[in-house]
């Protein structure tokens, strides 16, 4: 159907004169405006995953506004959004029901960005006179340090955890690939057979974040695990030889899903006795950190990770520096005041 976009199962017609981007009447309901914004985002090439989380954040805002009798965009003022800010900061995440915690700074900053983008879109189409979220700050925009980075011994234990059956060989190839390439979860799941260039020791990431293609080197250990999986395991897992996906699920025999990938990482992390939760993103963090600790250039790590800005990659240099500082504290003979006091009672340590 010409002019129709589907957002999360809801058809939105951009040809509807009431929702045309140059003709959005101020009386249009917030729900309809959100749908038009999301449809336009898809039409402009924004990734479906990005549109999906924008939908969640905007739906939360609209529900909160409806509870307060706010049904049109013109009624949304900076003070209303400031009140919403207080509401968000008081919420807790249900990610871990046993120990609920406030929303992270990163999540709050992401919500702020989505709101600013939505109301800026409305302002450009003259639905509102100005962007009421322009100065809204829900969190610190600075890049937080990765919460979990595995040690080399933990990585070795993790990679040795899978068994030698077909599923185990697949899981070993997955974990080796994640640690070797630092691919994002969606990027690994999207890999097809022809994306692996074993001879060139490369893997091609098609339409990664920002819809950009890139080539990422694959290490010898990961290639060996991939070859073993492809020859000894994958033929027993696929439903049809025509299946293009590199990694397939053991039950369906078709492309591996993101949630299954999460379960694989967590299961083998627990089997390896790693005290922290292991996820595909933890392996991405770990790969980047170990590369820098091994002397890799920051620009090269940026290219491997697929970061648009080197500022995003620089967070890993902070991890590497903190690691060096920890080594210094453990190893230097004058590492602390207590050590100095034991060595020279009564002496005041000079800088």
User: How many other CB atoms are found less than 10 A from the CB of residue 184?
Assistant: 19
Nearest alpha carbon to residue 102 among 86, 89, 111, 115: 89
Token code pair at residue 321: 């520096």
Residue 318: CB partners within 8 Å, gap ≥ 6? Answer: 145
| Interatomic CA distance for residues 73 and 155, integer angstroms | 50
Active site residues: 184, 209, 281, 284, 307, 316
Residue 30: CB partners within 8 Å, gap ≥ 6? Answer: 62, 65, 66, 70, 71, 72, 73
CA 54 from chain centre, in angstroms, equals 14
User: How many other CB atoms are found less than 10 A from the CB of residue 56?
Assistant: 12
Orientation of helix 48-67 relative to helix 78-90, angle to 10°: 100
C-alpha dihedral over 200, 264, 208, 231, to 10 degrees?
30
User: How many other CB atoms are found less than 10 A from the CB of residue 133?
Assistant: 25
């Amino acid at each position: 159907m010409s002019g129709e976009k589907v957002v999360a199962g809801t058809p939105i017609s951009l040809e509807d004169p009431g929702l045309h981007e140059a003709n959005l009447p101020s009386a249009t309901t917030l729900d309809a405006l959100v749908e038009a914004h999301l449809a336009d985002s898809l039409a402009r090439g924004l990734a479906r995953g990005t549109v999906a989380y924008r939908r969640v954040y905007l739906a939360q805002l609209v529900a909160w506004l409806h509870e307060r009798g706010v049904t049109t965009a013109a009624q949304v003022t900076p003070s209303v959004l400031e009140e919403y800010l207080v509401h968000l900061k008081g919420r807790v995440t249900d990610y871990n029901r046993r120990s609920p915690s406030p929303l992270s700074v990163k999540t709050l900053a992401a919500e702020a960005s989505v709101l600013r983008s939505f109301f800026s879109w409305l302002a450009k189409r003259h639905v509102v006179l100005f962007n009421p979220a322009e100065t809204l700050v829900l969190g610190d925009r600075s890049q937080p340090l990765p919460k979990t980075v595995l040690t080399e011994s933990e990585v070795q234990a993790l990679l040795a955890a899978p068994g030698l059956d077909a599923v185990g060989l697949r899981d070993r190839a997955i974990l080796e690939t994640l640690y070797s390439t630092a691919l994002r979860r969606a990027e690994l799941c999207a890999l097809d057979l022809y994306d692996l260039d074993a001879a060139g020791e490369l893997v091609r990431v098609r339409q990664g974040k920002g819809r950009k293609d890139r080539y990422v080197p694959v290490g010898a250990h990961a290639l060996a695990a991939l070859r073993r999986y492809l020859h000894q395991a994958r033929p027993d897992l696929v439903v049809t030889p025509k299946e293009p996906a590199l990694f397939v699920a053991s039950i369906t025999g078709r492309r591996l899903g993101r949630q299954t990938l999460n379960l694989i990482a967590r299961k083998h992390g627990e089997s390896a006795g790693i005290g922290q939760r292991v996820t595909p993103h933890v392996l991405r963090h770990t790969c980047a950190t170990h590369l820098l600790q091994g002397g890799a250039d920051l620009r090269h790590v940026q290219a491997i990770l697929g970061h648009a800005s080197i500022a995003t990659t620089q967070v890993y240099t902070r991890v590497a520096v903190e690691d060096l500082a920890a080594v210094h504290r453990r190893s230097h003979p004058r590492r602390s005041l207590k050590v100095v006091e034991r060595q020279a009672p009564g002496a005041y340590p000079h800088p």
